[in-house]
Amino acid sequence: MYDPLVHLHKTVLMQRLLDAVSRGYHWHTSGTVPLCKAQNLAKKFADRYDVHKSANQRAYDKRKRKASARLFMLNVPNSSDLYWWLLATGGNGAIHDNEKLRCALDSRSRIRTENDYELVRRTRLSTKGGGTVWSWRMTSECYYQWRERCISSCRRRESFVITQTIGSLYRTPGFSGTREQVGKLIALVRAEWRRRHGNLDALELPPALPYVERLANTAVLLSMLRK
């Protein structure tokens, strides 16, 4: 029986989803499933769409212009549900007939992790090679929630409040898209704090925005998670 890996950390999952989309897995659907029913869902996807195939088998299917599919799962702490994403390449295959797939290339149907981050195509600076790359960024809802939190924290006279907010902001996954948004929010914080308090003396900012490095897998087999 197919025993899929379940990711334990969201940032690692985000890297793996980005990898897959960069390799042509543009079609997708997603949802949640109770942990007790996750094995049945995985079996269904394996039986119907061969999500259990190896990288070599998927490469062979690509040469035959057959659609390949992959299943990604994420365990969320303190939840009895798993999040799942089913991704597919173009080509002939039952997955395109049976599933209501959306295309990640369409701005109206991007791949998301809950409602906080979305996977987008970005233009890379010419100094960094140019072209376009995939990256994660905050959704509009998430960004404006952070914006309101930053402004609210700057209104407080106690500097520890904005320090806590900045610390939380710097812990967001450091993909290029999110780093650009964090930079804009920090610029907002600096302007808002100066406007309300006259100077930046009490404002503690980390020296640099963090980059997300290549992370090792921290996934476990679904069968182990259910024990």
Domain boundary assignment for the chain: 5-136+214-225, 140-197
What Å distances lie between residue 38 and 42, 69, 71, 136, CA to CA? 6, 17, 12, 26
Say what the pLDDT of residue 215 is: 92
Say what the pLDDT of residue 146 is: 98
> In DSSP terms, which residues pair with 73 in a beta bridge?
84
Q: Count of alpha carbons within 13 Å of 17, Cβ hemisphere only?
A: 32
Say what the pLDDT of residue 69 is: 97
Task: Please tell me whether the overall predicted TM-score, pTM, comes out greater than 0.95 for this model.
Answer: no
How far, in Å, CA of 99 to CA of 28, rounded?
A: 9
How far, in Å, CA of 204 to CA of 24, rounded?
A: 42
Say what the pLDDT of residue 130 is: 67
Say what the pLDDT of residue 83 is: 98
Per DSSP, helices labelled H in 50-158 are 55-63, 94-98, 140-155
Could you state, in chain order, the average pLDDT of each consecutive group of 10 residues for the chain (227 residues)? 94 97 97 96 97 93 93 93 97 95 96 95 75 94 97 90 94 94 95 88 83 92 89
What Å distances lie between residue 131 and 63, 123, 179, 180, CA to CA? 26, 6, 19, 17
